A and B are shown apart, each in its own frame.
Chain A
Amino acid sequence: MAKKIYSTYPMVKYLRKEALPTALCPGCGGGTVLNAFANAVDQLKLDPKDLVVVSGIGCSAWIASPYFLADTLHTTHGRAIAFATGVKVGLPDKKVVVISGDGDLASIGGNHLLHAARRNIDITVILVNNFIYGMTGGQVAPTTPFGAKTTTSPYRNIEHPLQISETVAAAGASYVARWTTAHVYQLIESIKKALQVKGFSLVEVISQCPVQYGRRNRMKEPAEMLRWFLKNSVPVSKAKDMSPEELEGKFVIGEIVNRTRPEFTTELNKLIDEVQEHFGLKEE
């Protein structure tokens, strides 16, 4: 089977073969995200040599590093975006992509996420939101739905989930979109857009974790989780006219924001030019 995939699956050219098979659990949405990202890169005809992929810690952090064949930086928990900031300043002409999970990017790394959006640095973040700490055994996350059961909220979760996309949009990102793993084609289109936007872009992917989330919340099978996503997804346009009560437990999907704002590395290099000009330091 594996051999067949290696010889017939067209996107395999983007993967680090010596790292395969992946460590992802059967039924995990991570494969869908990797597939969507590879397809986006392929459709845009991007050279992987022009990509640097950064990730933090957790299942979703493994999606692209080590599996995606590019320069990959697998960093400490929560800090992927801060590492990526240094990479982007050093290589402003490359596409710098962060792929990691909700626990990594929005919980411990929440501060870096907000400030990168505020700075509007040209980094594309693909945030895989599976509502749970998968790798550490299924503990409650800041994204876990109200009332859901996890190993550390065994009776029910009494905290409210963070609305990641809306928060990042409010912080100043250029582009924000949210899809689920049941919306693969839309997801690919959004990743393509995010990669082309000059500024901070976030694509939040609601993804299934049948092993740690699903089985504790009456959705043992991956397909059940995908059906849950489809049944509860509400397009942005429709969500506008809905009350917070009506939106409780729903997934708002689509483009949350798409706008042009001055980008950080461009401004930084512009500033350096101005300073060098001002002090007469340009080569005559």
Chain B
Amino acid sequence: MAVQGTRVRHEDLGLQEADLGSIHRSMLLARRIDERMWILNRQGRAAFVISCQGQEAAQVGAAYGLRAGYDYLYPYYRDLAMMLTLGQSAREQFLSLLAREEDPNSGGRQMPGHYSSRELNVVTTSAPVAVQYPQAVGTALAFKMRSESGVVLTSGGEASTSSGDWHEALNFAAIQELPVVFLIENNAYAISVPEKMQVAGSIADRAAGYGIPGVAVDGNDVLGVYEAADEAIQRARRGGGPTLIEARTYRMTAHSSDDDDRRYREREEVEGWREKDPIARFERYLEEAGLLDAEGKDALEAEIKAEIDQAVEYAEAAPQAAPESVLRGVYAET
């Protein structure tokens, strides 16, 4: 066994080579799916895109320690990479983007990015920002009531911390010491409003006000986010209560396909962050650890491209939901 000094970071975190491979794959798949979605949108084939580019490390790092189908996830609209980490497929993303009947999230009823999966315990996502936090807390409360070891992860952008729901949820989670992890993906903007106009003080520091751990991590460092999230998840499982994680990152695209970010931010700023691209950074780590080379990378890119090509082809050929199905399923039957 290697001595401490020469050990690589992932070994300290208990991650095997296979883990690194799947973390890498989820991040890259998310990026390539996202890029293809923009292309389909610009070609007029997809009505709307909301993007995760730049936030893949925060998302994959946070979700990697969850037990899909047992733990619960309350994601927000950018969490494509989280969904892939838990087990949704490329095909499912394009079925959702193109609003096909088979869209696993909503059967074409909601815009893309409103995730849902009963099998994966991903709770149906909404458009109003921050509503997921009190819900996540209630789901964690059910685990506590039954003395089970389940954990709930919920996430949102930094602007969601401006809302009452966020504070109400943190307060209750802390009072009841609930097994819930709040992940804030601080990507610096709420549409056009910069962080300094949206957030007073530091988000991570606010945890102290609720008497819970608050961790600020580099959101572009997937291993760093994994470390923080894994510790939070383990603490929650042990009955140690909630944790707030603020992952500082950057949204590299416009807010959505309907937005033009040149109205509110300089190109130099965006370019500066491109140099901190979390995927390139992780690839450098893998290369330095001797776990990835140019050949391996090309093979993975080719495999992902083929998967996306097939997914798009499948989704474009898939039937739309029958129009009158819009009338069905308002109420659940007993």
A binds B: no
Which residues of B does A touch, CB under 8 Å?
Answer: none
